[in-house]
Amino acid sequence: MLNFDFYNPTQILFGQGRIADLNKVIPAEAHVLMLYGGGSIKQNGVYDEVITALGTRKITEFTGIEPNPSYETLMKAVELIKQNKIDFLLAVGGGSVIDGTKFIAAAALFEGDDPWVIMEKRGNNVTKAMPFGSVLTLPATGSEMNNGGVVTRKSIKAKMAFSSRHCFPQFSVLDPTKTYTLPARQIGNGAVDAFVHIMEQYLTYPVNSPVQDRFAEGLLLTLIEEGPKALINPEDYDVRANLMWCATMALNGLISTGVPQDWATHMIGHELTALHNIDHAQTLAIVLPSMLRVRKEGKRAKLLQFAERVWDLHEGDEDSRIETAISRMQDYFEQMGVKTRLSDYQLGSDDIAPILSALETHRMVSLGEKRDVTLEVSRQVLELSL
């Protein structure tokens, strides 16, 4: 096991009816900026429950945080905060709203001319942030219980990640019933997103970390079992609860303790979203199967463990067990409604060079747990995903 630090102070309020407890966890005198995306929270009752829970607190609203939240939009919220006396930020939505709120929380107190520098420095220059919490409506990114975010700057087609110790939500409310009305596409994307988060931390090389491995495998097995049920019966409480808790546990720092991490799939995926506006989870479903195939030798031991413990594969030679495991995973993504080939998104071989250029521009030229995913390896991965 590698040395590690673990720190995660976010309080989780989990279960049906927990939005009412916002009244306990937000200061009574706070002027709250409520941030959300489109209008879905007004249709599923979340908006009304939040307003009721906030009671007599002064509320200002900021709406229109888009999927893959943009710097351009988020800076409007920062301006709103500076013009008003806002004490507390409340993100109501999925990972994009929460990611965006993290950036806003840091940017509002940033002592520099241009908060985009936060992204360029990946958050290392954040020394403080406004207090904020979240009400999660979409199980997927894990943003509700971590300190990271991804922000896109449209004007330069850059999608970048940052994190800071100061950017943990103080609390997150997870009410599984609030996911009942999500479109199937978002449930499918969410399950795939969580699945790939786990794989980025699990599928590297062995360092004798049985606790972390078994936690990761337990989460993968749960996603495999519960994901399809969530599509078939959207109002099964336990299924939605298990999916929600899985997605949170997938990226809260727990399963990455003391182990190497990959994240090459995410870095290539971010370019696909920035260039072609493909959903985040879709980009991961495109890239990961090929990534594992291309890097099979470096990941052999963990791929065999994945085949045995997650897919229950014990027969056949090593290479066939590995290929079957990757195929099963790919089938699972498809079963969740997430297509796994570039051609499914009308992209072809001509589109590969611009992706590689973008990776180069963003200095993503030595990715993965061994920093050996060069642009050439990324090219092989993308070609195999055609």
Alpha helices for 65-203 (secondary structure H) = 71-83, 95-108, 116-120, 184-202
For residue 233, state whether it binds a second copy (rule: CB under 8 A). no
For residue 327, state whether it binds a second copy (rule: CB under 8 A). no
Closest separation in Å from C-beta 214 to a second copy:
3
For residue 301, state whether it binds a second copy (rule: CB under 8 A). no
Closest separation in Å from C-beta 245 to a second copy:
5
**Of 49 and 279, which has the nearer Cβ to a second copy?**
49
Query: Residue 113 contacts by C-beta under 8 Å, 6 or more apart in sequence?
Result: none
Closest separation in Å from C-beta 250 to a second copy:
10
- Binding a second copy (rule: CB under 8 A), the pick from 6, 48, 233, 235 is 6
Closest separation in Å from C-beta 252 to a second copy:
10
Query: Which of these ranges, 13-21, 30-38, 263-271, 300-308, lies near a second copy under the rule CB under 8 A?
Result: 13-21
Question: How far apart are alpha carbons 297 and 276 in whole angstroms?
Answer: 31
For residue 221, state whether it binds a second copy (rule: CB under 8 A). yes
CA distances from 330 to 196, 251, 344 (A): 11, 21, 14
Query: Which of these ranges, 37-45, 136-144, 212-220, 329-337, lies near a second copy under the rule CB under 8 A?
Result: 212-220
CA distances from 250 to 38, 183, 191, 196 (A): 26, 22, 10, 9
Q: Are 282 and 196 in contact (CB under 8 A)?
A: no
- Binding a second copy (rule: CB under 8 A), the pick from 72, 120, 238, 376 is 238
Query: Residue 232 contacts by C-beta under 8 Å, 6 or more apart in sequence?
Result: none
For residue 16, state whether it binds a second copy (rule: CB under 8 A). yes
Residues of 347-386 as b/e, b for ≥16 C-beta within 10 angstroms?
Answer: beeebbeebbebbeeeebbebbbeeebebebbbbbbeebe
Closest separation in Å from C-beta 21 to a second copy:
9
Which of positions 52-71 make contact with a second copy (CB under 8 A)?
Answer: none
In the DSSP assignment, the letter for residue 111 is -
Which stretches of the chain bind a second copy, using CB under 8 A? 1-18, 208-211, 213-215, 217-219, 221-222, 225-226, 238, 241-242, 245-246, 249, 254, 257-258
